[in-house]
A and B are shown apart, each in its own frame.
Chain A
Amino acid sequence: MSELFAGIELEPFLLSFKLAGVTTLILFVTALPLAWYLSQTRSKLKPFLEAVTALPIVLPPSVLGFYILWALSYNSPVGAFFEETFGIKLVFNFTGLVIASCFYSLPFMVQPMQSGFESLNQNMLDASYVCGRSRWMTLLKVALPNIKPALMTAIIVTFAHTVGEFGVVLMVGGSIPGETKVASVAIYEMVEIMDYRSAHIYSGMMLILSFLVLLGVYIFNRKHNKKLGGFQ
């Protein structure tokens, strides 16, 4: 066993999971209010916001990566501002990867949350308002506990999707070992230098991990739905 993994570096894997973890955490907090707003609003702005949120699904990663790269680089006002004011460079480092991933994975967090909120019985939310509870309290105490499967899906899919990210990461981060060289980029390089043994091991590990994660989600959702007897 140890022979098989000899010479295999785990760093790209750890980096992938670190990136996915940080991205998921940031997106969970920021996407929650957005998804709640989208599910409750009757504003004419809604289709516009929904379209913007869904853009990363349809855009080629290279296009998204290019725009993010440009926006974060010194050539754009945003990049220039950060570098001059805080002395932070936003491209070709881990911070840049996190920012890019947040854009890239946004729809995968927002959409399951939003459809979870939309599936809630509106009368139940109204009952909470009539009971004297604010929108914020209703979100925390009534809406969130009743969309646990959707939240679980949102978190896991966002995490998995960020782990599986390739194009945007390559554009914004390049391939700096220990900084921006994540597992998917590492596999790409292994194939390029025809190191098929390492590519096999890496790819196999990714495959198994991804499958286990998804299996976990579906088992959790099944158990949860049984417990609450489905939604009312």
Chain B
Amino acid sequence: MIAIDICKTLYGSMGEMELNVDLQINEGEFIALAGESGSGKTTLLRIIAGLEKARGTLKVGDEIWMDAKHALPPQKRKIGFVFQDYALFPNMTVLQNLLFVQKDHALAAQLLEMTGLDELRDRLPATLSGGQKQRVSLCRAMMNRPGILLMDEPLSALDPAMRTKLQQEILTLHKNFGTTTIMVSHDPSEIYRLAGRVVMLDHGRIIQDDTPKKVLLKTSGSQKFSFEGELLDIVQVDIIMVAIVSIGQQLVEVVISPEEAASLHIGERVTLSTKAFAPILSNR
């Protein structure tokens, strides 16, 4: 059980903000931290890791990691941390990066085998691709058999195919090592695939804390097809108005009335919905 009850004043691009988080996490859970940028996700992760100071308390099991009097240094927390920019040691080979944490050759060999990095063990990070680098970073994070694995948008710099592969590897490692995992992510499909619980932050506060299905599926229960998108443009074609909406990676055209057009603003978030009694799902 991890009990987080912390408070910290942040000075960001949007001025002063109070990060105020009260959160209980069970052992072995996989948590996704979501929310807009600047909502305090990374700072929360860094506070748990001991890389940043805060007021309040942090308890992990029976151990107190932080309270009013003292804070356990990051070196003694036995956590794994995966950074968005990999943060590998450029002067060390793949194997040396792993052994830097602990001289456990057997574990290093096992991790490299699991992630298919075996043949790259003697290469320097500069010669690896993004996906390979993040794998090394993931392996390095597992080298001290962490109780808690923290990941800060680990896959956001990778292409979709590589993401899917690495998601599977993250899940395997999470299960095999029995870690409690907290991952910052923006990608709904990634969250849905990996996490058992989503914590949504907004301006430093938790605004939602539930299963991915409840948080992410905005239309659950209703017989409605509904998508969120961004209104890119409104064009007049002959006598009708057409709105162009970007949903996910796709652009959609929708016919709207002049009255509707007047009430919409280009650039705003819109919901596109239709009653769908029997939606058709087919293979591509």
Contacts and interface: CB of A to CB of B under 8 A. Distances in A.
Contacts of A229: 90, 126-127
A142 B89 contact: yes
Given A228-B126, A232-B85, A232-B126, A131 B90 contact: no
Contacts of A196: none
Interface stretch (B13-21, B72-80, B104-112, B252-260): B72-80
21 contacts: A123-B83, A124-B87, A126-B87, A127-B81, A127-B89, A128-B89, A128-B100, A129-B51, A130-B51, A130-B74, A130-B75, A130-B81, A131-B100, A131-B101, A141-B89, A145-B91, A146-B89, A228-B90, A229-B126, A232-B85, A232-B88
Contacts of A123: 83, 85, 87
Output the residue of B83, B125, B140 with the most chain A CB within 10 A.
B83
Contacts of A86: none
Nearest to B91: A145
A121 interface: yes
B143 interface: yes
Nearest to A229: B126
B124 interface: yes
Contacts of B79: 130
Nearest to B83: A123
B85 A129 contact: no
Contacts of A76: none
B75 A146 contact: no
A228 B126 CA distance: 6
A124 B90 CA distance: 9
Interface string B24-60: 0000000000000000000000100111000000000
B144 interface: yes
A231 interface: yes
Interface of B: 46, 49-51, 73-81, 83, 85-91, 100-102, 124-127, 140, 143-144
A131 B125 CA distance: 18
Nearest to B82: A127
A129 B74 contact: yes
A232 B140 CA distance: 17
Nearest to B77: A130
Given A126-B83, A130-B79, A232-B86, 15 more contacts: A121-B87, A123-B85, A126-B74, A127-B81, A129-B73, A130-B51, A130-B77, A131-B101, A131-B140, A131-B143, A134-B75, A146-B91, A228-B126, A229-B126, A231-B90
A124 B91 CA distance: 11
Output the residue of B50, B78, B89, B127 with the most chain A CB within 10 A.
B89
Contacts of A133: 75, 100
Main secondary structure of the interface of B (DSSP, over half): loop
B96 to A, nearest CB: 10
A124 B125 CA distance: 13
Contacts of B144: 131-132
B149 to A, nearest CB: 11
A230 B73 CA distance: 31
A121 B125 CA distance: 14
A141 to B, nearest CB: 7
B80 A124 contact: no
A142 B96 CA distance: 12
A41 to B, nearest CB: 14
A146 B90 contact: yes
Contacts of A145: 91
A232 B90 contact: yes
A119 to B, nearest CB: 12
Given A134-B75, A228-B126, A229-B126, A141 B87 contact: no
B223 to A, nearest CB: 47
